[in-house]
Structure 1
């Protein structure tokens, strides 16, 4: 029997001038969610249950913009997506384009367990949710006044704008010609993603990721978070959840590559994380968290900071933002 380990993230791309009060708010949320996971692991819940439980908690808080507090499309609507994967048997489920499902990650799990498919999207995902009797709310539940203001900024700048997590609009600066996504200019890149990875006391790994995507994104845009092997992956070896520039993560199949270099190159978990962040992101900015079946926990990112926390059965616990 091995010891359990857990990691959570709330996205990279942090403003270096993030006020201390906001930093503490983020750390408190990460700590609370870690403690939810730790309590579940101490009660011997399997890894797949724990990642769903923790991501549901993150989705319910507008601080990190997945679920409640989601980023808005160019039409001012919400299109959320999530995925979950059980490393034991490599079972997975994913959803995209959901607009009224209170917990997208739980719907993703239902796709895994209650449908013949791995991925449902838009009206099909919403219809499936209604048939399964999941909790649904009006689209307005997910929309915050702050994000309405962010969308207006993005439209005025005629660009994709991603709200830096937990920063009020007074701290948002439009930085023109700073970055590009697939050749198109974007302003102030930061993700709208949360995730959790767990290895339980039986050595079973699982991962889950949930997001609302980019502010002012085109309606119908799908990022890396619901794509198995890109934003989320779990197998017998490890569990991985990614966050950052979705288009770059998709091109690099980032989550699967962590497992692949462990399986085929014999790298340890942190070595594998460092390798894919360094070699697979091209010019993209992103980060990831990971656990291994040997109770290791690791993270990596190539931007200024990443909201993250981790804990292990032997008493180690860390919550941080910066390198």
Structure 2
């Protein structure tokens, strides 16, 4: 029996207020616990990462699902992807508007179509055909994100570097008792983005990757930077070259920072049950569950360890 492990992230952040930090911490712990329970009951790595990410999409504290940031027109457009390391099957969706859980739609693309990636209206039609309930767009819009958009439009003059802004993406990686690995990543993107903008999250090799022979990874950060360096596959390339998960993460994140000034974070797992969480943004909420113990943190150097119920 392989060791079962799940690691989740709640996106990078430049600063999180104290009261919000507690809500984010609770959300990330809830997601990791939900995913770990699926693994404990013999569920697959794909089930576990989908389950964990669904919890985060349903939590308005995170930039995914019902907490998604708004584009320049004040609309929600979401991206997500998922991959099974057993056979490299993958599913992705982008510019999705009226679905509560884009990650569920991405999994349906993976399992019910011959394709890897559906977008916008095609994805919406497919969701309807698969019986995924459509939710009114306004149901996904939070008061906080309306204010965020107003603030962003207002501050456009004093342009803050796009690289440092809204690094919100959620994701999970897992290894199940059969030694299969998987990843899932989901996001609402960048505040005030152009309509139709797609970042790294739904792009296999950038937003995540999973291969039983190497490991699974989910990324977060400045999407355009991540796309330019194929952050997920680049990190796993270093693992293939014999680097530890932590070394590989440090190398690829360092490369992205020096090459395109992009900041971000990654979570990784391999079938031996090793895991890592690394980031170059100010903070990255994360949690990892293994051997009945839960490790979690938000800021650099911070790790809390508790027993899982």
For normalisation by structure 2, the TM-score amounts to 0.93
Task: Verify the 8 A CA contact 2:61 2:67 in the aligned structure 1.
Answer: yes
Asked if residue 179 in structure 1 is aligned to residue 156 in structure 2, the reply is no
Alpha-carbon shift at residue 179 of structure 1 (Å): 2.0
Q: Deviations over 1:173-214 (max 9, x none)?
A: xxx454245xxxxxx513221000001111111000000101
SS of the residue corresponding to residue 94 of structure 2 reads strand
Alpha-carbon shift at residue 13 of structure 1 (Å): 2.3
Partner of 1:284: 262
Asked if residue 191 in structure 1 is aligned to residue 173 in structure 2, the reply is no
User: Structure 2 CA distance, aligned partners of 1:38 and 1:145?
Assistant: 32
Partner of 2:229: 252
Partner of 1:27: 25
SS of the residue corresponding to residue 84 of structure 1 reads strand
Asked if residue 308 in structure 1 is aligned to residue 306 in structure 2, the reply is no
User: Structure 1 CA distance, aligned partners of 2:160 and 2:279?
Assistant: 19
**After TM superposition, where is structure 1 displaced by more than 3 Å over at least 4 residues in a row?**
none
Alpha-carbon shift at residue 316 of structure 1 (Å): 3.5
SS of the residue corresponding to residue 61 of structure 1 reads coil
User: Structure 1 CA distance, aligned partners of 2:27 and 2:251?
Assistant: 29
User: Structure 1 CA distance, aligned partners of 2:254 and 2:152?
Assistant: 30
Number of residues of Structure 1 aligned to a counterpart in Structure 2? 297
SS of the residue corresponding to residue 201 of structure 1 reads coil
Alpha-carbon shift at residue 227 of structure 1 (Å): 0.3
Partner of 2:201: 225
Partner of 2:67: 69
Selected match of 1:214 from 190, 197, 203: 190
Partner of 1:297: 275
Q: Deviations over 1:65-121 (max 9, x none)?
A: 200021111011111010000000111000001111111000000001111100000
SS of the residue corresponding to residue 299 of structure 1 reads strand
User: Structure 2 CA distance, aligned partners of 1:143 and 1:256?
Assistant: 33
Q: Calculate the aligned-residue CA RMSD, in Å.
A: 1.3
Partner of 1:321: 298
User: Structure 2 CA distance, aligned partners of 1:151 and 1:20?
Assistant: 22
SS of the residue corresponding to residue 138 of structure 2 reads helix
Partner of 1:166: none
Equivalent residue runs for 1:120-135 within 5 Å:
120-135=118-133
Task: Verify the 8 A CA contact 2:269 2:275 in the aligned structure 1.
Answer: yes
User: Structure 1 CA distance, aligned partners of 2:264 and 2:71?
Assistant: 21
User: Structure 1 CA distance, aligned partners of 2:107 and 2:92?
Assistant: 7
Task: Verify the 8 A CA contact 2:12 2:265 in the aligned structure 1.
Answer: yes
Partner of 1:14: 14
Sort the Cα spacing of 1:198 and 1:111 in 2 relative to 1 into closer, same or farther, 3 A. same
Partner of 1:201: 177
User: Structure 2 CA distance, aligned partners of 1:66 and 1:32?
Assistant: 16
Asked if residue 151 in structure 1 is aligned to residue 127 in structure 2, the reply is no
Task: Verify the 8 A CA contact 2:238 2:248 in the aligned structure 1.
Answer: yes
Sort the Cα spacing of 1:118 and 1:130 in 2 relative to 1 into closer, same or farther, 3 A. same
Asked if residue 59 in structure 1 is aligned to residue 57 in structure 2, the reply is yes
User: Structure 2 CA distance, aligned partners of 1:54 and 1:142?
Assistant: 19
